Amino acid sequence: MACEVLEMIAEELDMGARDIVSSFIQDKKSNSCIRVNHYPPCPDLQALTGRTLIGFGEHTDPQLISVLRSNNASGLQICNIDGSWLSVPSDHTTFFFNVGDSLQVITNGRFRSVKHKVLADSFKSRLSMIYFGGLPLSEKITPLSSVMEEGEESLYKEFTWPEYKKSTYKTREISHFFLIELLFLFYIF
Ligand X SMILES: O=C(O)CCC(=O)C(=O)O
68 versus 103: smaller Cβ distance to ligand X: 68
Point out the residue whose Cβ comes nearest to ligand X: 128
56 versus 111: smaller Cβ distance to ligand X: 56
Q: Does 118 bind ligand X (CB under 6 A)?
A: yes
Distance (Å) of CA 36 to CA 6, 52, 64, 130, 131: 23, 22, 18, 6, 9
Q: Does 165 bind ligand X (CB under 6 A)?
A: no
Q: Does 9 bind ligand X (CB under 6 A)?
A: no
CA triple 170-125-100, angle to 5 deg: 35
Q: Which of 65, 116, 131, 147 binds ligand X (CB under 6 A)?
A: 116
Active site residue 69: no
Residue 120 CA to residue 91 CA, distance in Å, equals 16
Q: Does 30 bind ligand X (CB under 6 A)?
A: no
Q: Coil, strand, or helix at residue 67?
A: strand
Residue 131: which of ligand X, Fe ion, none does it interact with, CB under 5 to 8 A by kind?
A: none
Hey, which residues between 60 and 99 contact ligand X (CB under 6 A)?
61, 68, 70, 76
Task: Return the closest-CA partner of residue 18 out of 152, 146, 149, 150.
Answer: 146
**Segment interacting with Fe ion (CB under 5 A) among 8-16, 32-40, 58-66, 69-77:** 58-66
Catalytic choice (18, 35, 69, 126): 126
Q: Does 101 bind ligand X (CB under 6 A)?
A: no
Q: Does 61 bind Fe ion (CB under 5 A)?
A: yes
Residue 138 CA to residue 102 CA, distance in Å, equals 14
Contacts of 21 (CB under 8 A, 6+ apart): 6, 7, 9, 10, 15, 64, 103, 106, 144
What's the helix, strand, coil split of the chain in %, to 5?
Answer: 30, 25, 45
Q: Which residues bind Fe ion (CB under 5 A)?
A: 61
Q: Which residues bind ligand X (CB under 6 A)?
A: 35, 37, 56, 61, 68, 70, 76, 116, 118, 128, 130
Catalytic site residues?
126
